Amino acid sequence: MSCCTKRKYEEINTSDDQPASSGANTMKILLLGAGEGGKSTWVKQMRLLYQNGFTSVERNYYKTIIFQNVIKSTVAISQNTAIPELQNLLKCPLTPASLSDSVISTLNNLLQNTEFQNALLNTPIVDNYTYFISRLPFLANNLPTNQDILLARVKTHIETPFTCTLNKLKYIFYDVAGQRPARSTWNHRLSEANAFIFFCSLSDFDQTLIEDATTNRLRESLQLWTELVNSPLLEKVPVILCLNKMDLLVEKLKTRRFSDYISEYKGENEAKSVADYVQGLFVAANKVNAKIRPYKVFQTSISDQGLIQNVCKSVFEFMLQAVLKQVGFF
């Protein structure tokens, strides 16, 4: 932050006794996007960076979530293959408590099975499924690490706020559920927002919505972005577009062609080219002049602890400068 910017910011916050909830020193930021875009992972990263991380109770909770995700995906895979070892494994319902050493060993052996690998490609499963299979021997006797927690998929059912304070400015991030049925609850927050971060999963180009198997997830995300970014309620609200899961996109393009799912695309089947194409679609959909409403775009992997620290720093600086501009300091 420049000295000039810092000085102007301090002029805004002249009273240390000012209530924390007052508009002068509080930023309300909405985390928006379709389901599984990375909103909850962002909040987890914020906890690791700006709070005390996760307690042992919370780590036990995530351990159960990880086991449940593995079991749910394994059952889904079993419906697309008749591998005897897998079918035998599922003769008795799997539960977190039943993940014995022998079960874990069988699952890890299945990862080397060609038929199982093919079934993986044709089954909608949780992100990082193979990662967690390889982690089961460790997790059987230990609490999950920070990276395990970041990669664990937890569906957001209710609005979950997260608060942190930096340079006397209080940031409240609202993680709201992204599935279609939950979006009707967004309106009351849109009118209060000082900024919003929109998350789009780049790796979802080959998947359809859970709630609508006929709709491509990437197209749904673009449609939702178009509606939000051009909403009169958000016309002057600074926006950050986070094109997430670059790491998963790289892996997925090894076995998928982007153009097979997004037929308009004519470029190389390479992650950077695909990400730039998607970014172009999203930027073009924004009809609000940047002089009226500032915006910033990141192509990133929210689960990458090393990368996200720099992204967070850039996000905070962008939002601070946007606030200063709104109150007439630029």
In the annotated binding site for Mg(2+), the residues are 40, 156
**Residue 171's closest CA among 35, 42, 330?**
42
Type of residue found at 98: S
CA–CA gap between residue 127 and residue 122 (Å, rounded)? 14
Q: Which parts are annotated binding residues for GTP?
A: 36-41, 150-156, 175-179, 244-247
Tell me the β-bridge partners of 188: none
User: In sequence order, what DSSP letters do the residues of 299-323 get, joined into one string?
Assistant: E--TT-HHHHHHHHHHHHHHHHHHH
Token pair belonging to 230: 């051009």
- The DSSP 8-state label assigned to residue 171 in this structure reads E
Phi and psi of 216, rounded to 5°?
-65, 135
Residue showing tokens 């929210």: 302
Neighbours of 245 (CB within 10 A): 27
Contact by Cβ (8 Å): 228, 288 = no
What count of other Cβ atoms lies within 10 Å of the Cβ of residue 98? 11
Known binding-site residues equal 36-41, 150-156, 175-179, 244-247
